[in-house]
Structure 1
């Protein structure tokens, strides 16, 4: 199996809806989890900029 074929297989698996994920794809769930995680973290730029207001 070539690297390209492996990449295509991974993409296909990650873009296949799953019953256990509420018919969302693993890629969708991953993106949602990452967005939630980054929303919980303070933005270092905000804290820095707030010092100069």
Structure 2
């Protein structure tokens, strides 16, 4: 797990992605994240910016 966290920290420092927390202001509880990153690949989504939304149920 520590290796995985170090990888994400390194990638973030290289400006590979940005991630925001979604916080319920009423209860002050994190309910998800929004992440934006650039994707290089050999498919349709090459050279695209992708926006990912993860929400708690």
Higher relative contact order (CA 8 A, sep 6+): 2
Kindly indicate which of the two structures has a greater share of residues assigned to helix.
1
Q: Would you say same fold, with TM above 0.5? A: no
TM-score normalised according to structure 2 size = 0.32
Kindly indicate which of the two structures has a greater share of residues assigned to strand.
2
TM-score normalised according to structure 1 size = 0.34
